[in-house]
Each structure stands twice: as structure tokens, then as C-alpha cells.
């Protein structure tokens, strides 16, 4: 059944329920309560035996987040956070059945994958939400290699930080020559003293500031810290796939004593280069592939620290085992790039996206549901705190006008201007774009990305070719900002 504007508006009421502010304790129908503490959600192997289909079951489960004390009730895919690592080959056609065991409707979005619009997992825009107990079959061909991820796009400001996310890897035909591959999914949880989840989702205070941060930073679903050891053999070469799946937090990582090579941003190959200034920024939603060489055996242990949290230790690099090789390796080979149509700036149309909001006196006015309002009304009556191009939109529910329309095959540049005091990791669905300039300074690598961090009061220029038809989200990946108005669409017309 095709989704019409009317369905869309009819379901808007339901969606608004999920957005009511503050929604820390929005009522849950009696038959939709999460299972009592102690029960565990079904753990299903992702690849069903004997079939090429995969089943993902978002549900309520328990997991040890902190190293001590009781386990925490979380929401996870197939019984854990992160959910199962999905690994595909380029060109493979995949079928993924999502069975919703959550106490809320949901959808799954394949962040970074260029899927057909109907498979993009955006409620009210590309599909109906998956009802409680319902299923949805996602089918698509995996076009591009790289490190991606999946997460719900419904009430994502709640569903993602409760634990619903997982990494998705598309292998290269000719993989990088490494001894081992390691995956780090970084995130956080907000827990009370008794390890119970703090359920203060949807607070306007978080929407209008840096977003809701957890108090326990996690690496692969359990507390990060010096006790998390990555043991390297002397001379060993590891490919480290990093994902920031946190709903708001950014990481600024330093690998002390080591000099890893960056080989891909957001899954897209770049010329291998050391981390600029030795500090790797991972905004919410971003990925980086590193090649880490065991070059410091016998020199003790080294911390991986996060400079966004006063150099808190994320993990420890230590040495153990037989040397992998006598002499350390040099610069790794570049990954084979995915092939995208090169944006031709000579004939590109130019577009602008201006971000305003959150208190600081701007914007004087903005539009909500087509009506001009002043800032106070936008916050008070709609619980929204940000505008993009002077429009604040509710999460999916009330999309009136796309931010802009592009014809299929159109070459386009977008200048994003951040007139706010906050950082915004901006994500476009369905396409990759080249990052041309940050704060008006041309980038050295013009890297392809799907998520780019815009500095407070900064700007960013990107270029793309609109070659995937449909209505695509363009939003801030601080999920509280997205729910607070930084949510829009770009339409690519056939
Ligand atoms: Cu990772 Cu629109 O999301
Ligand atoms: Cu933002």
C-alpha cells in the first residue's frame, strides 16, 4: 500500500505522542509494558539457519554495562547492544526481517548504505512504523564497501541510547592486508547508582543544548576504561573499525605511543594518512577505519584516551604473544574506493542550509507547520529548539516542505552555516558527499562522507550528485537535536 500524505498526517498524532515533552514517563499501554526485570529477550542468530535471510529482533534485554553491580535493562537487537555485526559482500542482495519486540513502534535505518528509498527505514517518510509484534522485510543490494551501521529511526532520541545499534560491514573484494580486524562500537548509557537506566528521554533541556549524554561511556556495550585491553603482538597489523553510535556524544581519540593510519572515513577510502594532530574526532554517527601497527613492544602499556572527557581512558594497548613479523610495516595500501559520480562544481546548483536556535537570541522567528512563530512559541508550544532554513520540524511527523529539491543527476553544492553555539554532526541519507571546505578552508582530501561535523559558529561546504531518487532525510545526528527541530528532507525527483 503506497504511503500517502494523508496516512502520514494521520499517523502524525501517534508520532507526536512519542515526542510529547517532557516525555520521561509517557504512559505505555498496559499490554505494551517491557517484560519484567529478569526476563531476557529472544536471542536469535542473525543469519537464520539454511537461509540467506537475516532476522533482527529489537527487544528488551539485560546486559552488564558497568563491571560491577546488577545488570541493566536495555533495548538491544537480538539480545545485546551493540546488536550482531552484520557482514556482507559488495553486490550481495540481502533480505533482513525486522521483528519488533519492543514496547514501541520502530523502524531500522541502514546508516550510510545507498538503499532504495523505500528501504531507508524512516517512519512516515519511507514506510509505516513497524507495530508492536509486527515485522518489516528490508531487501536491498549492498552497493558500496565500508563500515556502516544500523539503528532505529523512530523516536531515535530514546531508542538508540537505550541500546539499539549495530555495526554493518561490507567487505572489499580485495581486503586490506592485516593480521586481524577489531571492531569498536562506542556509545554511552545513562544509569543510576543501582545500574538502572535513567529514563529521562525527550527533555527540552537536552534538545536545546548538547544533547543527552550518558554517564557510562561504553566500548562494545560495556564500560570503557583502562581495564579494556587490546593486546597486540609485536609488529602486528590490526584494522580497527570505529563507530560512534552514541546519541549525542562526540569522541576525540588519541592513541598514545602509536600512530595509526586513517584509511577510510564513513566507510569511504581515503589516502592512508596519520591522524591529523594525533586526535581523531568521531561525531555522533561517524565511522573511521584505522590501521594500527604494534610498533611499541617492550615499552609498557599505552592508553587510548578521549579528549572530550579530560583525557579519560577508553582502553589500554598492551603487548603479548609471539612477534607477528620481524620488522614493522610501513604505510598501508589504500583501499579501493567506491565509485561515485564526481560532482562537477562548474555546473553545480548551489544550496544553503542555515542552522539557528537554542536560546542565544536567534532565530527571531521560524516556521513550524507552515506558520511563522517567534522562538519562545517554537519552544513553548512545540517543544522545538532549532531551525534549519528558518523551519523547525517535528521528527518525521510533520514534514511539509523539503529543504530543497534536486533533479535526478543534478550536481549540487550545499553550504551549511551554523549560527549556533553548538556542534552539529549533519547526516544526509541515500548519498555520499564530498567535503570541500570546513570553515571556508578547503579540505586536503575532499573526503567522501555521509556525516560531517559542523563547528559551533562554523560552516561546511559539500558537493554531491543527486542520483538516488526519493525523499531523503538531512538531519543532525545528535538525536536530541533532530527531535528538537534539526530534521528535514531533500527530495531527488525522478
Ligand atoms: Cu544514522 Cu537519519 O540516521
Ligand atoms: Cu545538532
For residue 106, what are the CA distances in angstroms to 99, 133, 199, 486? 10, 10, 18, 20
- The CATH T-level fold of domain 5-171 is Immunoglobulin-like (2.60.40)
Residue nearest to atom 1 of ligand 1 (CA): 111
Tell me if 429 CB under 6 Å of ligand 1.
yes
- According to DSSP, residue 172 is labeled -
pLDDT at residue 463 is higher than 80? yes
**For 317, which DSSP code?**
E
Give the pLDDT of residue 391: 83
Ligand 1 atom with the shortest distance to the CA of 475: 2
Reported CATH class of domain 345-493: mainly beta
SS3 at position 465 = strand
Q: Considering the chain, what is the average pLDDT of its residues?
A: 88
Is 285's C-beta closer than 6 angstroms to any atom of ligand 1?
Answer: yes
Ligand with minimal distance to 422 CA: 2
Is 53:135 a contact under the CB 8 Å cutoff? no
User: 156: CA distance to ligand 2 center in Å?
Assistant: 14
- Tens digits of residue pLDDT in 285-325: 999 999 999 999 999 999 999 999 999 999 999 999 999 99
**Residues 6+ positions from 57 with CB-CB distance below 8 Å:** 41, 42, 44, 77, 78, 79, 98, 99, 100, 101
What is the average pLDDT across 347-365? Answer: 80
Query: What is the structure's pLDDT at 380?
Result: 79
Distance 122 CA to ligand 1 centre (A): 9
The answer to whether the CB of 394 falls within 8 A of the CB of 16 is yes
pLDDT of residue 362: 56
Residue 255, pLDDT score: 98
Task: With H, G, I as helix, E, B as strand and everything else as coil, classify residue 287.
Answer: strand
Average pLDDT over residues 244-263: 98
Which pLDDT score, from 0 to 100, does residue 359 have?
64
Which pLDDT band, with edges at 50, 70 and 90, does 115 fall under?
Answer: very high
Task: Give distance in angstroms: CA of 476 to centre of ligand 1.
Answer: 8
Look up the pTM and report it.
0.89
* C-alpha span between 75 and 19 (Å, rounded): 19
How many CA atoms are closer than 13 Å to the CA of 266, on its beta-carbon side?
27
Give me the pLDDT at residue 326, please: 87
Q: How confident is the model at residue 102 (pLDDT cuts 50, 70, 90)?
A: very high
**What's the CA-to-centroid distance between 427 and ligand 2, angstroms?**
10
What DSSP element (H or E) covers 9? helix 5-10
Q: What is the pLDDT averaged over residues 396-400?
A: 58
CA-to-CA distance for 286 and 148, rounded, in angstroms?
Answer: 9
Whether residue 167 is predicted with pLDDT greater than 90 in this model: the reply is: yes
Domain with CATH 2.60.40.420 in the chain: 5-171, 183-319, 345-493
Q: Which residue has the higher pLDDT, 251 or 31?
A: 251
176-180, 396-400, 408-412: which has the minimum mean pLDDT? 396-400
Q: Are strands 53-56 and 93-99 parallel, antiparallel or unpaired?
A: parallel
Q: Is the pLDDT of residue 113 over 60?
A: yes
What is the average pLDDT across 46-58? 69
pLDDT at 129 over 90: yes
SS3 helix, strand, coil % of the chain, rounded to 5?
10, 40, 50
- Which of the residue ranges 53-57, 108-112, 408-412 would you say has the lowest mean pLDDT? 53-57
Quick check: CB of 111 below 6 Å from ligand 1? yes
Per-residue CA distances from 82 to 111, 122, 244, 310, 408 (Å): 15, 20, 11, 25, 36
Q: What average pLDDT does the segment 125-154 reach? A: 97
The answer for residues whose C-beta is within 8 angstroms of residue 29's C-beta and 6 or more apart is: none
* Rounded-to-integer distance, Cα 459 and Cα 481, Å: 17
Report the alpha-carbon distance of residue 489 to residue 396 in Å, rounded: 9
**What is the atom index within ligand 1 of the atom nearest the CA of 112?**
1
Q: Given pLDDT bands bounded at 50, 70 and 90, which one contains residue 179?
A: very high
Tally the residues of the chain.
Answer: 494
| 320 CB-contact burial (10 Å; exposed 0-12 / middle 13-18 / buried 19+) | exposed
Ligand nearest to the CA of 475: 1
pLDDT surpasses 90 at 15? no
Q: Is the CB of 481 under 6 A from ligand 1?
A: no
- For 163-167, 173-177, 408-412, which range has the lowest pLDDT when averaged over its residues? 173-177
Distance in angstroms (rounded) separating the CA atoms of residues 58 and 42: 9
Going by the DSSP 8-state scheme, the letter that residue 342 receives in this structure is P
Instruction: Please tell me the distance between residue 482's alpha carbon and the centre of ligand 1 in angstroms.
Output: 10
Superfamily grouping for domain 183-319: Cupredoxins -  blue copper proteins (2.60.40.420)
Amino acid at each position: 500500500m503506497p504511503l500517502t500524505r494523508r496516512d502520514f498526517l494521520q499517523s502524525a498524532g501517534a508520532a507526536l505522542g512519542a515526542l510529547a515533552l517532557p516525555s520521561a514517563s509517557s504512559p505505555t499501554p498496559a499490554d505494551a509494558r517491557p517484560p519484567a526485570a529478569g526476563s531476557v529477550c529472544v536471542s536469535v542468530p542473525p543469519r537464520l539457519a539454511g537461509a540467506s535471510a537475516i532476522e533482527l529482533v529489537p527487544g528488551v534485554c539485560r546486559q552488564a554495562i558497568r563491571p560491577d553491580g546488577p545488570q541493566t535493562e536495555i533495548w538491544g537487537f537480538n539480545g545485546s547492544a551493540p546488536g550482531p555485526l552484520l557482514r556482507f559482500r559488495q553486490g550481495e542482495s540481502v533480505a533482513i526481517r525486522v521483528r519488533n519486540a519492543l514496547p514501541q513502534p520502530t523502524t531500522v535505518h541502514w546508516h550510510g548504505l545507498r538503499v532504495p528509498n523505500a528501504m531507508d527505514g524512516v517512519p512516515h517518510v519511507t514506510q509505516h512504523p513497524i507495530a508492536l509484534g509486527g515485522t518489516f522485510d528490508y531487501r536491498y543490494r549492498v552497493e558500496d564497501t565500508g563500515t556502516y551501521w544500523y539503528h532505529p529511526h523512530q523516536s531515535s532520541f530514546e531508542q538508540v541510547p537505550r541500546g539499539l545499534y549495530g555495526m554493518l560491514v561490507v567487505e572489499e573484494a580485495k581486503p586490506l592486508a592485516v593480521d586481524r580486524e577489531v571492531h569498536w562500537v562506542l556509545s554511552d548509557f545513562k544509569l543510576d547508582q543501582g545500574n538502572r537506566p535513567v529514563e529521562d528521554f525527550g527533555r527540552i533541556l537536552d534538545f536545546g543544548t548538547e544533547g543527552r549524554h550518558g554517564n557510562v561511556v561504553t566500548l562494545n556495550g560495556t564500560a570503557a576504561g583502562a581495564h579494556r585491553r587490546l593486546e597486540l603482538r609485536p609488529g602486528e597489523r590490526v584494522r580497527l573499525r570505529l563507530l560512534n553510535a552514541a546519541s549525542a556524544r562526540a569522541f576525540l581519540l588519541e592513541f598514545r605511543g602509536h600512530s595509526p593510519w586513517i584509511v577510510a572515513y564513513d566507510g569511504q577510502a581515503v589516502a592512508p594518512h596519520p591522524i591529523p594532530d594525533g586526535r581523531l574526532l568521531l561525531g555522533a554517527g561517524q565511522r573511521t577505519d584505522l590501521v594500527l601497527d604494534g610498533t611499541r613492544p617492550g615499552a609498557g602499556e599505552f592508553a587510548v584516551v578521549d579528549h572530550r572527557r579530560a583525557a579519560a581512558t577508553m582502553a589500554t594497548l598492551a603487548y603479548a604473544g609471539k612477534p607477528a613479523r620481524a620488522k614493522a610495516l610501513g604505510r598501508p595500501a589504500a583501499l579501493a574506493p567506491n565509485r561515485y559520480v564526481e560532482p562537477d562544481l562548474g555546473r553545480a546548483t548551489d544550496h544553503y542550509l542555515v542552522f539557528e536556535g537554542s536560546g542565544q537570541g536567534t532565530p527571531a522567528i521560524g516556521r513550524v507547520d507552515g506558520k511563522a512563530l517567534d522562538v519562545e512559541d517554537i519552544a513553548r508550544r512545540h517543544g522545538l529548539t532549532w531551525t534549519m532554513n528558518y523551519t523547525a520540524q517535528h521528527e518525521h511527523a510533520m514534514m511539509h516542505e523539503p529543504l530543497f529539491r534536486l533533479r535526478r543527476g543534478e550536481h549540487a553544492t550545499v553550504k551549511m552555516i551554523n549560527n549556533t553555539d553548538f556542534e552539529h554532526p549533519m547526516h544526509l541519507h541515500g548519498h555520499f558527499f564530498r567535503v570541500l571546505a570546513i570553515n571556508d578552508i578547503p579540505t586536503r582530501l575532499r573526503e567522501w562522507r555521509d556525516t560531517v561535523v559542523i563547528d559551533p559558529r562554523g560552516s561546511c561546504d559539500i558537493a554531491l550528485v543527486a542520483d538516488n531518487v526519493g525523499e531523503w532525510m538531512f538531519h543532525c545526528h545528535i538525536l536530541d537535536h533532530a527531535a528538537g527541530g534539526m530534521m528535514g528532507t531533500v527530495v531527488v525527483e525522478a
